[in-house]
Amino acid sequence: MTKIILKDIPDLHKIDVYEANGGYQSIRKAIKEMSPDDVTNVVKSSNLRGRGGACFPTGLKWTFMPKQTEKPKYLCCNGDESEPGSFKDREIFEKNPHQFIEGTLLACYAMGIKAAYVYIRGEYFKWINLLQDALDDAYKKGYVGKNILGSDFSTDIYIHRGAGAYICGEESALMNSVEGKRGYPRVKPPFPAANGLWGCPTTINNIETLATVPEIIKNGAEWFTQIGAPKHPGTLLFGVSGHVNKPGVYELPTGTPLMTIINDVCGGVLGGKKIKMVIPGGSSMPPLTPEECLTAKMDNESLKEFGSSIGTAGVMVMNEDTDLLKVLIRIAKFYYHESCGQCTPCREGTGWLLRILKRIDAGHGRISDLDLLTSVALNIEGNTICALGDAAAWPVKWTIKKFRADFEACVSKDDVDVPVLNKVHSMR
Amino acid sequence: MSLFNEEELKKVEEIKSHYPQSQAALLPVLWMVQEKEGWISEDSMKYVGDLLKVSYEHILGVVTFYTMFNKQPRGKFHLQICTNVSCMLRGGYDLYKYASEKLGINNNETTKDGLFTIEEVECLGSCGTAPMIQVNNKEYYENLTVESFGKLIEDFKNSH
Ligand SMILES: Cc1cc2nc3c(=O)[nH]c(=O)nc-3n(C[C@H](O)[C@H](O)[C@H](O)COP(=O)(O)O)c2cc1C
Ligand code: SF4
Ligand code: FES
């Protein structure tokens, strides 16, 4: 089985083990034999797509950075990892930090960047220290800092610790947080490549995205495109949680069937029960029904068929005993808590979603509440500064749509005439 | 008020050198304050403001935005219990209820002896080893059961 990041090599987190297994050869090769544009072009033709949730083509993103500019350019490495169900980047900090550092160096080399900030969620205290240790070793050996490997390429990498705000994973909120401000997302455009950190050109990439790059430079774009699903190639670090026998992080090719992951890799559903629902990519992604699970393949294009996406590849499995109303309440509570409050639809809408769901749970629900919830979700979606609004709306909209019968069973059938309902038409 | 000693002030200078503007050192320096004091008081915010040439109002805005910055003193053992979906599916709320009953406190409250604070927190990025808790913004305790959690609380009590 192809493994690009979580290779079965003991002690790979140590710099000498990493070096002995071909580590830091890609940055050496890039500096010696390739121009910065060559590196970008290889990444571009590898068809690597961002692992932070949006699947944006990485090479293309790198080409947005201006070449002629007086201003310094920056890279932000996104290790905020706060989407519920996601716990993969921490595995990279722990098991293969140097490959991430090398990927960061390659990105800096390709885009002419002299400073990279690794933004790591504040709770990851232990993993921040692990990465800092790896970084110190890399500095000592001359891989990071001034005149890397004796060349005229220099770049610094700094860790910036967050302090408990999911929204700081959103790229423009992240930049504000690095600048020492509240983590408020910025209105786009301007996009970060034109106007990012301190008004300078900036690129933001996920930790896993960057950790994949050294292997692409080492083995070539062609090699990479042949792993997994053609339109979304490579491997993904699937973080499987919930009702499976062996939860954990597993590196598998994109396009791996969901049931293979659940049954063969994770030892099946806990207690031999049936599946009720699976969220395929972190809590904001639309869920899958048991029937959909049977044919679902875990890459972005395949999941589109079911109205969902790969997100962060955080697979949350729920068995037949799961109370979906409780799950949805917990998800709604999260987005309500994490909304930064700048946009009215998100700030108020997330509260409404939570309160209506709680009313249903308290036994005061009515059938029209299901349409009301959908209506609130539709009024948030697409009407906000950042995608947290969408992330809050999607689970509610899609879970009710796909599991309507479950929710109807929780509410009174007697409709109540509420004026707002006049404007609401059913999703069904 | 001089919160930081010479060594800590050197550390602040080192942190400032990572960024083109000193305001960017705010989060790391607030972490240093919290590390030292356990929480971030109004006086500390004013001190940091003078140190980094950032207004008190700005700092207050930042401190109140980020949930991990303590706006008031916490117990010696701040139990941060994850109840988000993956932990909930595996008994996160059982842990929370257990701690709440055993210690006789609710969310964000501290026991009279100042030993324990409990807090219901959002996903800690440890869903594969759920249910789990974090203590004092640092150590993770994973794959817990009510029994092992109970023992952990006893251990904390005894270690004190
Ligand atoms: C609310 C919100 C939270 C996000 N959280 C994260 C995160 O924790 N980690 C991450 O890599 N990307 C996160 N993203 C996506 C980033 O904005 C950005 O697209 C990503 O880091 C780009 O990296 P990539 O192109 O390598 O995927 C989040 C987006 C939103 C809207
Ligand atoms: S959508 Fe929500 S989180 Fe995003 S900027 Fe608006 S209020 Fe803030
Ligand atoms: S849900 Fe508890 S760690 Fe993710």
In a domain? residue A138 = yes
**Percent of chain B at pLDDT exceeding 70:** 99
Q: Is the pLDDT of residue A420 over 60?
A: no
Arithmetic mean of pLDDT, A102-120: 98
Q: Is the pLDDT of residue B1 over 80?
A: no
B25, B62, B68 ranked by CB distance to A182: nearest: B62
DSSP chain B: ---S-HHHHHHHHHHHTTSSSGGGGHHHHHHHHHHHHSS--HHHHHHHHHHHT--HHHHHHHHHH-TTS-SS---SEEEEEE-SHHHHHTTHHHHHHHHHHHHT--TT-B-TTS-EEEEEE---S-GGG-S-EEETTTEEE-S--HHHHHHHHHHHHHH-
In degrees, rounded to 5, the angle at the alpha carbon of residue A243 between the alpha carbons of residues A242 and A247 is 65
pLDDT for the residue B72: 96
**Percent of chain A at pLDDT exceeding 70:** 96
Q: What does residue B46 show for φ and ψ, rounded to 5 degrees? A: -65, -40
**Percent of chain B at pLDDT exceeding 90:** 98
Question: Do A147 and A290 share a domain, yes or no?
Answer: no
Burial annotation A321-336 (CB, 10 A radius, 16+ → b, else e): ebebbebbbbbbbbbb
pLDDT for the residue A145: 98
Q: Is the CB of A167 under 6 A from ligand 2?
A: yes
B89 touching A (Cβ < 8 Å): yes
Number of Cβ pairs closer than 8 Å across A and B?
140
The conformation of residue A14, written as its DSSP 8-state character, comes to: S
Q: What is the C-alpha to C-alpha distance for residues A232 and A51, in angstroms, rounded to an integer?
A: 10
Q: Is the pLDDT of residue A417 over 60?
A: no
Question: Do A71 and A155 share a domain, yes or no?
Answer: yes
Label residue A1 exposed, middle or buried (CB < 10 Å: 0-12, 13-18, 19+): exposed
Q: What is the C-alpha to C-alpha distance for residues A279 and A318, in angstroms, rounded to an integer?
A: 8
CATH superfamily of B6-65: NADH-quinone oxidoreductase subunit E (1.10.10.1590)
Q: Is the pLDDT of residue B76 over 50?
A: yes
pLDDT tens-place string over residues A284-317: 999 999 999 999 999 999 999 999 999 999 999 9
Q: What is the C-alpha to C-alpha distance for residues A266 and A298, in angstroms, rounded to an integer?
A: 15
- Report the number of distinct structural domains present in chain A: 3
Give the ipTM.
0.98
Arithmetic mean of pLDDT, B61-76: 98
What is the band of A394 on the pLDDT scale with cuts at 50, 70, 90? very high
Q: Is the pLDDT of residue A132 over 80?
A: yes
Question: Do A96 and A152 share a domain, yes or no?
Answer: yes
The two structure tokens encoding residue B76: 């010696």
Q: What is the C-alpha to C-alpha distance for residues A190 and A290, in angstroms, rounded to an integer?
A: 42
| Interface touch A161/B27, C-beta < 8 Å | yes
**Percent of chain A at pLDDT exceeding 90:** 96
Arithmetic mean of pLDDT, A178-185: 98
Q: Cα of B6 to ligand 3 centre, how many Å? A: 40
Q: How many CB atoms lie within 10 A of CB A287?
A: 28
Q: Is the CB of A339 under 6 A from ligand 2?
A: yes
Arithmetic mean of pLDDT, B56-75: 98
In a domain? residue A311 = yes
Q: Is the dihedral of CA A111, A117, A123, A126 positive or negative?
A: positive
Please tell me whether the overall predicted TM-score, pTM, comes out greater than 0.90 for this model.
Answer: yes
Q: Is the CB of B87 under 6 A from ligand 3?
A: yes
pLDDT for the residue A427: 41
Best probe residue, ligand 1, of A123, A171, A283, A335 (max atoms within 8 Å of C-beta): A171
Residue recorded with tokens 């919930």: A242
Label residue A419 exposed, middle or buried (CB < 10 Å: 0-12, 13-18, 19+): exposed
- CATH 1.10.10.1590 domain residues, chain B: 6-65
pLDDT for the residue A425: 44
Strand partners, A275: A319
Q: Is the pLDDT of residue B42 over 90?
A: yes
Best probe residue, ligand 2, of A188, A344, A347, A354 (max atoms within 8 Å of C-beta): A347
| Interface touch B67/A326, C-beta < 8 Å | no
Question: Do A358 and A417 share a domain, yes or no?
Answer: yes
Mean pLDDT score of chain A, rounded to an integer? 96
Residues of B (20-39) whose Cβ lies below 8 Å from A: 20-21, 23-28, 30-31
Question: Do A33 and A165 share a domain, yes or no?
Answer: yes
Q: Which of B52, B85, B138 to mutate to test the interface with A (most CBs of A within 10 A)?
A: B85
pLDDT tens-place string over residues A28-75: 999 999 999 999 999 999 999 999 999 999 999 999 999 999 999 999
Shortest CA gap B138–chain A (Å)? 6
In a domain? residue A240 = yes
The two structure tokens encoding residue A225: 């495109």
pLDDT tens-place string over residues A208-251: 999 999 999 999 999 999 999 999 999 999 999 999 999 999 99
* Helix residue spans in A47-111 (DSSP H): 58-63, 89-95, 97-111
Nearest to A143 by CA among A178, A116, A175: A116
Q: Is the pLDDT of residue A1 over 90?
A: no
Q: Which residues have CB under 8 Å from A208's CB, separation 6+?
A: A5, A51, A52, A88, A89, A92, A236, A237
In a domain? residue A4 = no
Q: How many CB atoms lie within 10 A of CB B37?
A: 14
Question: Do A233 and A220 share a domain, yes or no?
Answer: no
Where in the sequence is the domain holding A369, given as residue range(s)? Answer: 324-423
Q: What is the C-alpha to C-alpha distance for residues A196 and A277, in angstroms, rounded to an integer?
A: 39
In a domain? residue A154 = yes
Question: Do A45 and A107 share a domain, yes or no?
Answer: yes
- CATH 3.40.30.10 domain residues, chain B: 77-159
Q: Does domain B77-159 have CATH number 3.40.50.2000?
A: no
Q: Is the pLDDT of residue A426 over 50?
A: no
Question: Do A171 and A295 share a domain, yes or no?
Answer: no
Among A226, A261, A283, the domain-final residue is: A226
Give the nearest chain B residue to A167 (CA atoms). B66
Name the residue type at position A330.
R
Question: Do A306 and A340 share a domain, yes or no?
Answer: no
SS3 (DSSP) at A247: coil
Question: Which is higher by pLDDT, A426 or B20?
Answer: B20
pLDDT tens-place string over residues A143-163: 999 999 999 999 999 999 999
Strand partners, A229: A232
pLDDT tens-place string over residues A382-392: 999 999 999 99
B134 touching A (Cβ < 8 Å): yes
Question: Which amino acid residue places its CA nearest to atom 24 of ligand 1?
Answer: A50
The conformation of residue A427, written as its DSSP 8-state character, comes to: -
Question: Which is higher by pLDDT, A266 or A427?
Answer: A266
pLDDT for the residue A415: 65
Strand partners, B24: none
Arithmetic mean of pLDDT, A73-89: 98
In a domain? residue A2 = no
Lowest mean pLDDT among A109-123, A402-416, B137-151: A402-416
Q: Is the CB of B127 under 6 A from ligand 3?
A: yes
Q: Is the CB of B86 under 6 A from ligand 3?
A: yes
Among A319, A352, A377, the domain-final residue is: A319
Q: Is the pLDDT of residue A379 over 90?
A: yes
| Interface touch B26/A322, C-beta < 8 Å | no
Q: Is the pLDDT of residue A416 over 70?
A: no
User: Residue A187 is inside which H or E element, if any?
Assistant: none
Q: What is the C-alpha to C-alpha distance for residues A191 and A40, in angstroms, rounded to an integer?
A: 19
Q: Is the pLDDT of residue A419 over 80?
A: no
pLDDT for the residue A418: 55
Among A319, A339, A366, the domain-final residue is: A319
pLDDT for the residue A2: 87
| Interface touch A241/B27, C-beta < 8 Å | no
Question: Do A277 and A149 share a domain, yes or no?
Answer: no
Q: Is the pLDDT of residue A424 over 50?
A: no
Question: Do A313 and A339 share a domain, yes or no?
Answer: no
Question: Do A33 and A174 share a domain, yes or no?
Answer: yes
Arithmetic mean of pLDDT, A251-267: 98
Q: Cα of B2 to ligand 3 centre, how many Å? A: 39
CATH of the domain at A153: 3.40.50.11540
